[in-house]
Each structure stands twice: as structure tokens, then as C-alpha cells.
Amino acid sequence: MTASQSTVPGRESSSLDARALFATFAGLCGSLVAIGLARFAYTPLIPSLIQAHWFSSSAAVTLGAANFAGYLIGALAGRPLAAKLSNRTSLRFLMVVVTAAFFACAYPLSVTWFFVWRLLSGISGGAIMVLVATSILPHIPAPRRGFVGGMIFLGLGLGIAASGTLVPKLLHYGLRDTWLGLGVLALVLTAASWFGWPASNPPAPVPHAAATHIAHRNGGLVMRVLYGQYAANALGLVPVMVLLVDYVARGLGRGPGVGASYWVLYGLAAIAGPVICGNAGDRIGFANAYRAGLALQAVAVAILAFSGNPVLLGVATVILGIFTPAIVPLVLGRIHELVPHDHHEQRAAWSRATTAFALFQALGGYGYSYLFSHFHNDYRLVFLCGAIALALAFVADFAVRVKRPPQAA
């Protein structure tokens, strides 16, 4: 019996039993391995890949983009894969693929070999992102879903932090040993989470007619705007994920050591972000929490565009570190608010949202790269574009909130 089923008649329990806690831990392992490590740990490895003559600088960047391309494919493939297999089998299989990719990347047999494994790693990451929360949250009592969602995606923050702390330490032992070390860590987490995934798919919904009507109405314009906001959020965060360290080190002339310290600060904030925002969603509602998040992110990216003050940059870095992983449980929680009675529609909506984010993340990466190279490494122009995207997302949410009936809020 799941936690959501262990209730007093007429009242839903807010406690989490051992099975729910184990499932939460499995979800954390999934996001840590598939996104936290597979994506973010690659960034600090790029200079070593080039210096060790494994790949040229252009090939190293291309191999990094392979993970983003795979993420988009995985976001599209996650639901069809789960339809053929169970959620539990799919998640186990995907974790094994990501783990195998770490070990395979320890042996640079060719650019094609490396590209294929980075692509598979990205595909698995995108599919896990679509499946992980929607496989677990339906089994969690509603009052605790924000907390559990935050804990699941805490793995993203841990991966960001590890990219600035663990990876540099592993590099002291050599590039191959670093990949093998990441593979061993992924293997341990895969094994630890193996029996934690819920054994059954979410129960089929049996909604009341009135609830169904509200869900369909909310799932129309408001849901489409949410997809657009999540896509715009990707456009707002990509400049930070790509350029923050370089901006501090070269753009402001403060050197790579200071730039790295800001990345560590960013990673530490990212650890706390999902839990803080998940709890905020439980307390004030995910709609309000995400609106506040969009406003804070817009202000923070604007600070990067217009100020070089170290204190303000530190504040902006903390805010953006918090929300880089935390937007995931916030948007997921908002979807659950809009379609509260239909687990299948929740999964479909989350898949569409993840695909929108993945698509605009990739487009933003290439678009900002074009701007950066064609406007003489103008960091502030790129940050300004990100701030505008976030501001437009906030305004769009406010406009829809004004137009829709009060009960749909």
C-alpha cells in the first residue's frame, strides 16, 4: 500500500511511509545521475579533454551539444517507452544506459564513439526527467508533493555542486580515472535506487464531471502559457549556465579563480533550491511560487547585465542557483494544480513542458552563441536577452491571470 493509500477514511494522511521515502530517494538518484552528473559534470571536463588531446576544442563543444540534443529526443521518447514497458522497468533501463555512458566515455576510441554515448546519455536524461516525478508523485499524499518533488530534483543541485567540487578533485587522478569515478558513483546510485521505484504505474483517474470540466478548461490557454513560460525560462537561464564563470573571469577581469568561486556559490544555492521552492509551493501554491520565481530570476539576470558589483553579483548568483533546479518542481507542481485528478494528463502535460524547455534550451544555446560571437563577446547583450525572456514570461502569466475566471486561478 502506498503512502497516498494509507489514509483515515475521509481524510488524506500527510505522512510519508518507508515506501514513499524510498521512492523519493530513488527519484533523487535518478535526477542526480541522469541530469546532475551526466550534464553538469561535463562542463568542467572540457578544458581537460582539449589539453589531453582527446578532442579538438570544436569537437569538445560539439560533444557537449550532443547531450542537449539527446535530452530533447528523450523528452519526446519518454512516454512512448513507458507505454511499452512499465515505469519501473523504463527507469531502471535508462539509469543503466547513463551509467554505461560514463564508463564508455573513459575510452575515447573516436569522436563518433564519444558522440554516440553522450547522445545516449542525453536521451536517457530527457526520458528520466519526463518519467521520474510522474511515476512517484501520484503515490505521495497531496500535502507532501511539493516537498517530495523538491527532494527528487535535489539531484540537479547536487550535480551542479559536484561539477565545481568533486570533478576537479577527480581530475587530479587523470581524465580517464575521472570518467571511471563518475561511472562508479552512477553505478552505486543505480543499485541503491533499483528497488525504490514504485512497482505499479499511477492509478487510472476516476474524476468527477465538474473536476474534469475544470481540468480541461485550465489545461487550455493557461497550460499553453505555462509551456511558453517554461520555454522562456530556458532562454533566461542558458546565458547563466554557459557564461557566468567566463563573465566574471574574463568579462569583468577578475580571473578564473574568482569565476570558479561564483560557480561554487551557484552550486551550493542549487542544492537548497528544490527543497526551498517545493516547500514554498506547498505553502503558498505553485502558481504564486512560480510567479515569484520568474520575477526574481528576471531581476537577477538583469543584475548580471547592468552591474559588476561583487555583492550584487553574489546575490544574483544565489538567486539563479536556487531557481536553476527549482523551476522543475515548481512547474511540475503547477501542472498538478491545473489537472489535479488526471495522472495521465499530468504526465502528458509534463512531457510537453519538458520538450518545450529542451527545445528552447538548445535554440537558446545556439542563438546566444551567435550573438556572443557576432557582437564582440558582448556578455551584457546576452544577459539582457535572458532577462527580457523572463520578464515576458512573468507578464504573460499576469495577463492570463487577469483574463481567466477567478475559480481557475
pLDDT for 212 equals 47
Mean of all residue pLDDT scores within the chain: 82
CB 175, CB 54: distance < 8 Å: yes
Residues 279-324 pLDDT 10s: 888 888 899 999 999 999 999 999 999 988 999 999 999 999 999 9
Confidence class of residue 202 from pLDDT cuts 50, 70 and 90? low
Overall average pLDDT of the 374-395 stretch = 90
The domain limits of the chain are 18-201, 208-403
The per-residue pLDDT for 280 is 87
Same CATH topology for 18-201 and 208-403: the answer is yes
On the question of pLDDT at 406 being above 60, the answer is no
The yes-or-no verdict on residue 328 having pLDDT over 80 is yes
Please report the pLDDT score of residue 9 as a whole number: 40
Q: Does domain 18-201 correspond to CATH entry 3.30.300.160?
A: no
- Average confidence (pLDDT) over 229-238: 92
CATH architecture of structural domain 208-403: Up-down Bundle (1.20)
pLDDT at 393: 93
CA distance 121 to 72: 11
pLDDT greater than 80 at residue 46: no
pLDDT value at residue 331: 92
Q: What is the pLDDT of residues 59-104, one digit of tens each?
A: 776 777 788 788 889 888 888 888 888 888 999 999 999 999 999 9
Q: Out of 75-84, 215-224, 229-238, which region has the weakest mean confidence (pLDDT)?
A: 215-224
If pLDDT is split at 50, 70 and 90, which confidence band does 189 have? very high
Q: Residue 389's pLDDT is what?
A: 95
Q: Which of 152-156, 184-188, 266-270 has the highest mean pLDDT?
A: 184-188
- Assign 409 a pLDDT band (cuts: 50, 70, 90): very low
pTM: 0.76
Q: Please tell me the predicted confidence (pLDDT) of residue 246.
A: 77
The pLDDT, as a whole number, for residue 96 is 95
pLDDT tops 80 at residue 248: yes
The mean-pLDDT minimum among 41-45, 209-213, 245-249, 250-254 falls in 209-213
Higher pLDDT, 92 or 219: 92
